[in-house]
Amino acid sequence: MMTGMQAAASPLRTLAHGLRQRGRVTWRVLQLGAMVILLALSPSSWRAPWRRPLAVQLVRAALPLLPWFTLLAAILSLVIIRIVLVTAQSYGLSQYALEMVVRVLVLELIPLTAAFAVAVRVTVPMAAELAQARQVGRLERVRAQGADPLRTEIAPRALAGIFCVLLLAAVSSLVALVLAYVLAHGFTPFAFERYTRLVGQVFNPVVSLVFVLKTGALALAVSVVPIGAALHAREAGLAGLELQGLVRMFMVVLAIEVAGLAGNHF
Amino acid sequence: MSDEPTPPPLPVPTLPPSSGREERRATALLLLLAALVLASVLYVLYARGAFEPTQRLVLMAEDSEGVVVGMDLTFSGFPIGRVRRTELAADGNVRILVDVPRKDAHWLRTSSVFTMTRGLVGGTAIRAYSGILTDPPLPDGAERPVLAGDASAEIPRLMSAARDLLANLGRLTADESALSTTLANLQRATGRLDEQLAGKRGALGALLGDDAPQVAATLARTQQLLTRLDGLVQRTDGVVARADGKLLGDKGLVDDAQAAVRQLNQLLAEARTSLQKVDGLLQDAQAVAANARVASADLGALRAEVDASLRKVEQLVNDLERRWPFKRDPELKLP
């Protein structure tokens, strides 16, 4: 009898334990996000001695990624712009093609692509580094030496991820806007005024606000969620941690996208 | 964060010795991002017309459907204004507030007409038409009505008309319809024509059937008649030629007539001379008559004198008779 009840209670307990663990990690991740934002906004982080680790992580994250991601975004934009322009022309709707290109590429695709690229190339490896450091006790050693691992190790990496997403999104959006102009009008300056007007129509205040909020939220999510998961999850095993971080990050990104779409279109 | 230690030398164990290179690079990247963000913000503000002076135009419409804030007001296909706001007026109409940049405002005149059209695909378009560009420019804050044209509103009417047309077409092409019967008749007629053409009677046989030989005979007789008529015409031609010779030839009728006219002319001249003589004679006769009138007036006086003389003679005779007693014959004889 007792064993049957224990057997029945065991999955429930496991589920409750899992939910508690998940809630704890989520709370820690939110805390980490808030602390990273606070540190980014406090001027002391941008002064010595904290400036140096931040600068190192920024350069390490952004510099190798910037050229090839710009190239990738340019190729992707080129293909999509060409497809949209040709398709719209074949349906006789070419007057709406450019607006659609700007909306689809700049507002939707490029921030998402930049966020995923940074996640895959920057923040998930950084989270793995931190998880390893945590495993081998290096963070504890730093703390024992009297330093704060949040300021020396964690926040610079998260801030580097945020900065990287914003930089990549800005550069690729600019590239996409230029490519759209060139593909639609050719190398002529005379369509600039009309193109500018179209861009102005697309970026109305609501859409601009949603775009800025969405890009910021994506940057924060892909930077903080994997690092937070790596630091606070209990399970051992780097591969499992990475996977967990990726899944969490994917869920958060999905939620942000849904919220962004709702903000833009409802 | 409050319990954070604040010793000045903080060990950073994972970093290599400082060289300043990373910091410069990081600063450059941050500046790049800041520049990009700032440029984007400025560009979007410029694109939305935040830096150009504008004037206000208020368009009054019955319906604001399809009108969105930020859409263009176009003139000849060029955007010259942006919709800033739409609001309901006190009378239930819609006020569409449009900002027109000052540099484009000269296209709008007091006589300009504004239309709002809704296409089947795509959004609503507000257009301005200025027929007379020499009219006074539109003042700031002017209110103008906007004429609405709705392509989708035409669809039900169009569908109704198309349905009627299709029904008519269906009636026309039905089996028992007039057109179908006509076509069947035509087919029969062409079939018969084909048969007749294959035979010897030709199209005339197809048209007239059994009466065709009579018509052919009539035609032959008409041809004979025409031949005889031709001979007649030739003879008439000869007669006319001869008459021409008689009339207009040498010593023809016309020559004789000319000679007669000449003689007549001469006779007339002579008659004129005779008449002139008669005229003279008449004048003489007139003078004679005048003399005779005078003479007849004198004759009256003479007669009176004779009467008086006779009366005196009578008195004398009477006197004598009285005095002459042995009168034998009392009759007095006048000479």
- What are the chain A neighbours of B36 within 8 Å (beta carbons)? 167, 170-171, 174
Q: Distance between CA B98 and CA B55 in Å, rounded?
A: 8
At B180, the pLDDT band (50, 70, 90 cuts) reads confident
Q: Which residue of A has its CA nearest to B28?
A: A59
Nearest CA-CA partner of A206 in A266, A264, A259, A257: A264
Take residue B193 and report the two structure tokens written for it.
């024509």
How many Cα atoms within 13 Å fall on the side-chain side of residue A209? 7
User: What's the whole-number average pLDDT of chain B?
Assistant: 84
Computed from CA positions of residues A158, A159, A162, A163, in that sequence, does the dihedral angle turn out positive or negative?
A: negative
Chain A positions with Cβ closer than 8 Å to B: 35, 38, 49, 51-56, 58-59, 62-63, 93, 95-96, 138, 141-142, 145-148, 152-153, 163, 166-167, 170-171, 173-174, 194, 196-197, 199-201, 203-204, 208
pLDDT at B215 > cutoff 80: yes
Q: Does B85 touch chain A (CB under 8 A)?
A: no
Q: Who has greater pLDDT, A161 or B14?
A: A161
pLDDT at B202 > cutoff 80: no
User: Across residues A37-57, what is the average pLDDT?
Assistant: 85
pLDDT at B11 > cutoff 80: no
Residue B50 near residue B99, CB atoms below 8 Å: no
pLDDT in tens, B66-75: 888 888 899 9
Take residue B333 and report the two structure tokens written for it.
């004889």
pLDDT in tens, B302-320: 889 999 999 999 998 888 8
Q: Which residue of B has its CA nearest to A91?
A: B121
Q: Would you call the peptide bond into A49 cis, given omega within 30 degrees of 0 as the criterion?
A: yes
Nearest CA-CA partner of A99 in A169, A181, A170: A181
Cβ contact (<8 Å) for B4 and A148?
yes
Interface with chain B: mutation pick from A152, A164, A165, highest number of B CBs within 10 Å: A152
Q: Which residue of B has its CA nearest to A142?
A: B13
Nearest CA-CA partner of B143 in B107, B94, B104, B81: B94
Q: Distance between CA B191 and CA B72 in Å, rounded?
A: 67
Minimum mean pLDDT among A215-219, A232-236, B30-34: which range?
A232-236
Nearest CA-CA partner of B102 in B83, B81, B86: B81
User: Across residues B133-158, what is the average pLDDT?
Assistant: 82
pLDDT in tens, A46-55: 787 788 888 9
In sequence order, which residues have a C-beta less than 8 Å from that of residue B216 and are 6 or more positions away? B204
3-class SS of residue B317: helix
pLDDT in tens, A132-144: 888 888 888 888 8
pLDDT at B7 > cutoff 70: no
pLDDT at B329 > cutoff 50: yes
Reported ipTM: the value is 0.87
Task: State if pTM tops 0.80.
Answer: no
**pLDDT value, residue A1:** 47
The helix (run of H) or strand (run of E) holding residue A249 is: helix A238-265
pLDDT in tens, B285-306: 999 999 988 888 888 888 899 9
**pLDDT value, residue A112:** 94
pLDDT in tens, B110-132: 888 898 888 776 678 899 998 88
Q: Distance between CA A163 and CA A66 in Å, rounded?
A: 12
Going by their DSSP bridges, the two strands B54-61 and B72-75 should be labelled as: unpaired
Take residue A205 and report the two structure tokens written for it.
């205040």
User: Across residues A114-132, what is the average pLDDT?
Assistant: 91
Which residue carries 């060289």 as its tokens? B19
Q: Which residue of B has its CA nearest to A194?
A: B79
At B3, the pLDDT band (50, 70, 90 cuts) reads very low
**pLDDT value, residue B2:** 39
Q: Distance between CA B224 and CA B217 in Å, rounded?
A: 11
At B325, the pLDDT band (50, 70, 90 cuts) reads low
User: What's the whole-number average pLDDT of chain A?
Assistant: 87
Q: Does B47 touch chain A (CB under 8 A)?
A: yes
pLDDT at B36 > cutoff 90: yes
Residue B126 near residue B96, CB atoms below 8 Å: yes
**pLDDT value, residue A238:** 64
Cβ contact (<8 Å) for A53 and B15?
yes
